[in-house]
A and B are shown apart, each in its own frame.
Chain A
Amino acid sequence: MPHATLPSDPLPAGEIPNCALPGTPLADSLPGINACVHCGFCLQACPTYLVHDDENDSPRGRIFLMRSLLEGTVTTDDPDVNEHIDRCLGCRACETACPSGVPYGQLLEATRATLAIGRGKPILARIILSVFKRPWLLRPAMLASRLLAATPIPTLLSKTPGRFGFAMAMLASTPRGIERGRYRASGDGALGSTAVLLGCVMEGLFTETNRATERVLIHNGYTLNEAPGQRCCGALHAHSGDLEGAKDLARKNISAFEKSRADFIAVNAAGCGAIMKEYGHLLRDDPEWNERAAALAAKVRDISELLSAAGPKLGGALPVRVTYDAPCHLHHAQRIMQAPLSMLAAIPGLELIPLHESERCCGAAGIYNLIEPETSDLVLDEKLVNVHETRASFVATGNPGCMMQIGAGLIRDDSPMRAVHPVDLLDASYAAS
């Protein structure tokens, strides 16, 4: 059972003779590739290996392909290489299995950035990434989605075959939160100031969860600072090979959050928190920004970390059956395993049902479920089997992608179970006290 410590020692140096891709992000990542000794301990942790039964779709296989790209035994336009690298969820479950500390997530980003040189991304991916970069496109898109989600239309269309139906099911799942009363959040502010990352999807489609986040922070002794000018965190861009886009967004966020002067940046989306904690790595080669990036990254906390540090305060009785699904970018990328459970433990009356393979990816993986539907569905099917088995009323998971992915699966399976954020449950519990 691995521990929540990040690798700190230097990775092995060593050169590849006649490197085929000098000067690329992949070539810069060679020490990370060198750390893989091919032991295979990652195989059974990898969701795509388990559904495809091919080592090309496994972490050590993909690392072998990365090395082969550098050695020149395969080229960046090789369709097989692109297929298997594209098919990686980026869930980083291999990192919490790897004894050698291979920084797989960083290797994947570098590989995708290197492959992106000289080839186009799928049109759907390009549209999504482009919208998330531009607030004047993102806000109306989210508003339209929210208005549509409030109608019965997405539910009616949720079983339409293909990705359109799945996207409708995702949308239909968003307003299915938890009914809760109102309460006046008040606290002593003794634990420090926070600035909340509002997030694109969170503020767009899970507005109520964002407000709940603010209330529970105050209730647990934090104060709130505004951080105007904050943008998309850049995670989707970094994971899709658009490192420049991600860096640009990171710089804007660093400026915005520096101005907030908050002690902590509170993040309630695991994927966003993971990339923000890696801003220092992302901007490591930018002399103007690298120190500021590292300083800001050190202030980033998942909401569960902040609440766990505060206790959190006990709420009122909430007699519900809940199961917990660990978001990959919380469990594997940020190594936060116990804190979300401490939030649920602060709710009297809540019955926690263990979820088999809770830390296995649900197949959402950012925009993966829209551009790699076949594998995403296979991975989701396995998750849903385990979820149904719990007979819980709610699946708690702290990431919007996972909430929508599991939520959509539940709607398509005609299940009354709902996917919610742990913050929603805690907020409802406070309202009940």
Chain B
Amino acid sequence: MNLDEVSARLTEVVGERHVLTRVSELLVYSSDGLPGYRKQPTLAVFPGTRDETIAVVRILAEAKLPFVPRGAGTGLSGGALADGVVLLGLHRLKNIISIDVENRRAKVEPGVVNLKLNRTVAPKGLMYAPDPSSEAACTIGGNIAENAGGPHCLKNGVTLNHILALTVILPSGEIVELGAEEGERDGYDLRGAFIGSEGCFGIALDITVRLIPRPQVIRTMLCDFTTVDAAARVTSAIVASGVIPAALEFLDGPMIRVVESSIYAAGYPKDAEAVLLVELDGLQEGVDADLETVRRLALDGGARNVKVARDEVERLRLWQGRKKAFGAMGRLSPHLVVQDAVIPRSRLAEILGRIEGIRQKYGVIVCNVFHAGDGNLHPNIPYNADDPEESERVHLAMKEIMQACVSVGGSITGEHGVGLDKMGYMDLIFDPVSLAAMCDLRDAFDPERRANPAKVIPTHRCREWMAAPSARASAKAVQA
């Protein structure tokens, strides 16, 4: 089957409007959340129902065509870029199939937007806990691909902890059930393998998520500091005290000033060099005690001021500033790179100091906004990709930051995934044997290696990888 024949058959399934083949229509799909990359798909197809999705995957299997699944295209590792292959968009599958209040779970299609699910279940006193900063746009399917986190994963856990069961179509077209709605499944529980597989293992057709009761009390406090170092030390002190905040977020001075000039200005003091956003939730009595503990630790640790949100409006405003921080980076320049390293929380002050040194060495701007409680760093570096000299400096700085994080025992990604952007760092933390084992696992789900080819695992590290012709073609394009 050539591409025209495939296109004709896909059109029969999903309709003409939902198959894109002209270059001018495909252009906008050449970037996801990281606009510094441009990779052009050959064709894009957007099924609108479960049955259409199954039919599309089976046509692609028959034609032996590689494909890249995509949700909302808000990912930050280049994971949804289709380089000369088919882009399979799942954003039209946006039905919330059922909400089971008694058993606290919901069944959704992969294209359901995270915040939409939360808004729908909120009136029932429930919530879906993982809340990536892109929650207003990103999809549950994409969250599963990346095993997404978010500020509130500090206490509640990441996506993996909130997915009960999935129906998955493998790249071959075979449909399998992973996990079980009612407790444990007999035999291997492969949810953990699938969640975080970055679109390389197949496509979730429906997803049963865990819902949890909304906490009785939520208190959000803003601690502001005149030095980054003091804020970092207070973070470590809070974690060491035994208090488990619902969220513990860090913004440094440059990031604060970007947010405060946006429509999401949250009231962070513009002259601060760091703020900590600490949220405590649970039962009234416990929260009050924890609040006092955190307040004392912050003030003893050099906080200039500790403010507690007076009402829900102020609380949401404090959060909007944090959640939209990444999107506000356009105030500085058209492109940015963002790192996603996880480091031991006890080394926070040291690493932030080293990042500052790297910033000065390369003459770049670094805006830090991150999940401090988890030790999950997000240094953002704004730059103009059309300036090759600046791009070079920025990428060298990023690499050095990553090396610094790894040198203290850190990992290269906390929640954004490896995708294309972090693939070059895999060698830093995995030996060839481990990488080969990952390839073997991938082969169990996708022996033809057609799903999201040339992502996550550096191809030259994968035994026999180059034997698969479709993957080879894509790998060449990526390396070029």
Contact = CB atoms under 8 A, between A and B. Distances in A.
A80 B25 contact: yes
Given A81-B24, A100-B331, A40 B386 contact: no
A37 B35 contact: yes
Nearest to A95: B263
A68 B92 CA distance: 26
29 contacts: A1-B316, A1-B317, A3-B263, A3-B265, A3-B317, A12-B333, A14-B334, A16-B386, A34-B334, A35-B330, A37-B326, A37-B327, A38-B31, A38-B32, A38-B34, A39-B74, A39-B330, A40-B134, A40-B138, A41-B327, A43-B137, A54-B17, A78-B24, A97-B136, A99-B259, A99-B262, A99-B326, A99-B330, A101-B262
Contacts of B325: 99
A36 interface: yes
B28 A61 contact: yes
Nearest to B259: A99
A58 B331 CA distance: 20
Contacts, number: 144
Q: Which of A17, A37, A78 has the most CB of B within 10 A?
A: A37
A37 B332 CA distance: 10
B334 A74 contact: no
B277 interface: no
Contacts of B137: 39-44
Interface string A2-42: 11010111011011110000000000000001111111111
A331 to B, nearest CB: 13
Interface of B: 17-18, 20, 22, 24-25, 27-29, 31-35, 46, 48, 72-74, 91-92, 113, 115-116, 134, 136-138, 259, 261-265, 313, 316-317, 320, 324-336, 384, 386-387
Contacts of B386: 14-17
Contacts of A14: 333-334, 384, 386-387
B216 to A, nearest CB: 23
B28 A9 contact: no
A96 B320 CA distance: 13
Interface string A370-412: 0000000000000000000000000000000000000000000
Nearest to B75: A40
Contacts of A40: 33, 72-74, 134, 137-138
Contact of A39 (B33, B332, B333): B33
A41 B261 contact: no
**What 10 A-B pairs have minimum CB-CB distances, sorted nearest first?**
A100-B330, A99-B327, A39-B327, A99-B328, A99-B324, A38-B35, A61-B28, A34-B334, A37-B330, A80-B24
Interface in A49-99: 52-56, 58, 60-61, 64-65, 68, 73-74, 78, 80-81, 96-99
Contacts of A97: 136
Contacts of A73: 27
Interface of A: 1-3, 5, 7-9, 11-12, 14-17, 33-44, 52-56, 58, 60-61, 64-65, 68, 73-74, 78, 80-81, 96-102
B333 A74 contact: no
B134 A35 contact: no
B91 A12 contact: no
A65 to B, nearest CB: 7
B329 A100 contact: yes
Q: In terms of DSSP, what is the predominant structure of the interface of chain B?
A: loop
A64 B31 contact: yes
A12 B334 contact: yes
A102 B329 CA distance: 11
Q: In terms of DSSP, what is the predominant structure of the interface of chain A?
A: loop
Contacts of B134: 39-41
Contact of B334 (A7, A37, A60): A37
B263 A99 contact: yes
Contacts of A11: 331
Given A14-B333, A96-B263, A68 B27 contact: yes
Contacts of B31: 38, 64
Given A64-B28, A78-B24, A80-B24, A2 B35 contact: no
A79 to B, nearest CB: 8
B336 A37 contact: yes
Contact of B263 (A2, A34, A74): A2
A189 to B, nearest CB: 36
B263 A36 contact: no
A347 B20 CA distance: 53
Contacts of B332: 12
A123 to B, nearest CB: 25
A292 to B, nearest CB: 29
B139 to A, nearest CB: 10
A81 B25 CA distance: 8
Contacts of A3: 263-265, 317
A38 B263 contact: no
Contacts of B22: 80
A60 B387 CA distance: 22
Contacts of B18: 53-54
Contacts of A16: 386
B331 A12 contact: yes
Contacts of A7: 261-263
B136 to A, nearest CB: 6
A73 B73 CA distance: 21
Contacts of A58: 28
A100 B328 contact: yes
Contact of A53 (B33, B46, B334, B336): B46
A100 B331 CA distance: 5
